[in-house]
Structure 1
């Protein structure tokens, strides 16, 4: 089985693939760059035990991380506890399966490249990939599988937290589609501002890309909160939560 690890700024995903056709299990833990390989091992061993698996069932590992400090401990987890030499996105010699046409290719986050790779396996033509996580990113991909740049904006959770922390009387609230755009209380007003504000951000930036670049883009939403926008955004055509882990599987396939 393949262990795919995707470390984001907020959460780290561990996913198990059967190396044939499907993902079997997914687990998340809060990202902590100081978490040791042994701490990961205890947590991961308990989860595997719950589904009747052992470390010995894992025969391959691929890692993507936007938190460079975490890579040392994740590599040690694979080597010491799983007895596997992992494939790590961004290291020399690792083929990510796509080209990069930007000013500084080395600055493109591993997560954006892996998500792009997952998308080009499933969708044809030029793409706009909207990934809603700690940041909301808009990635433009050419029809010949090249990452061409994009846009980075604050993520919806980050905006909610900023509202709560910067304003003494604004509470921490649940992210959800409000019943009305006009809030009748503080919570509803905050939910409307964040939800409809992000819909406006998404649709406005997609339309600006389409205005500047006349190609016929397929627009895909992915990431932890992308499903919230289903039926509200006028520009997102597909919602696909598995682009990143599908990209990790493809990286493993290319480099095994």
Structure 2
């Protein structure tokens, strides 16, 4: 089985994939570059056992990360506890295999390229992938699979944290879909929720409209990331794919093992 590791700014996601590509199990832990391979191993071994798997079931490891300091300990984890040399997305045999048609291709985050790869494999034509993570990113993928660039905006939780930190009297609220369609809040908490939630709906609608107009062809919009489902009810997206980054890692691993 393949252990795919997506190390993001907020969380590291470990997913165990069967040979048919299906995700057998997934686990999430807070990102901490100081976390050692031994700490990962203790935590992961327990979770594998709970799901009925053993370390010996893992026959391959691939890592995608936007946190360079986390990479070394994840590579040590693969080598020391799974007996595998981890592939690293974008490097060596796991080279992207797509054209990064931007001015600074070396600065494109691994998660964004992985989303582009998985999105293009699943949906033909021009794509916009919106990832609701630490940042909210919009990525444009051409009909031939080339990554064309995108947009980076503050993530929902990041925006809320900044608001609460800067205003002493504002409470910390949970991010959730409002129970009604009104945007005029009658309490401090409801006004904050309205600003965050409907503000993001308006941002998505506005930026998508501008991106589609710039592309000038029919576009499929895919949403991913933990908070994507919050906005699904507004028909902003053509599809919600919560495991898009993991799918991209699996595709890279599969391509690297194809016969020449």
How far apart are 1:5 and its partner, in Å?
0.3
- Gapped regions of structure 1 (runs ≥ 5): none
Is the partner of 2:122 in helix, strand or coil? Answer: coil
Distance 2:219 2:144 in 1: 13
Equivalent residue number for residue 124 of structure 1: 124
Equivalent residue number for residue 87 of structure 2: 87
* Root-mean-square deviation over aligned CA pairs: 1.1
CA deviation vs aligned residue, 1:16-63 (integer Å, no higher than 9, x gap):
001224101010000000000000000000101111211111110010
CA deviation vs aligned residue, 1:57-82 (integer Å, no higher than 9, x gap):
11100100000000000000000111
For 1:177-256, list aligned pairs within 5 A: 177-178=177-178, 179=180, 180-232=182-234, 234-256=235-257
Equivalent residue number for residue 43 of structure 1: 43
- Gapped regions of structure 2 (runs ≥ 5): none
- Structure 1: 4+ residue segments shifted above 6 A: none
How far apart are 1:133 and its partner, in Å?
0.4
> Given that residues 94 and 253 in structure 2 are in contact (C-alpha distance below 8 angstroms), is that contact kept between their aligned partners in structure 1?
no
How far apart are 1:144 and its partner, in Å?
0.4
Deviates more, 1:57-66 or 1:209-218: 209-218
Q: TM (normalized to structure 2)?
A: 0.95
> Given that residues 137 and 152 in structure 1 are in contact (C-alpha distance below 8 angstroms), is that contact kept between their aligned partners in structure 2?
yes
How far apart are 1:94 and its partner, in Å?
2.3
> Given that residues 133 and 223 in structure 1 are in contact (C-alpha distance below 8 angstroms), is that contact kept between their aligned partners in structure 2?
yes
> Given that residues 177 and 192 in structure 1 are in contact (C-alpha distance below 8 angstroms), is that contact kept between their aligned partners in structure 2?
no
> Given that residues 116 and 147 in structure 1 are in contact (C-alpha distance below 8 angstroms), is that contact kept between their aligned partners in structure 2?
yes
Equivalent residue number for residue 100 of structure 2: 100
Equivalent residue number for residue 75 of structure 1: 75
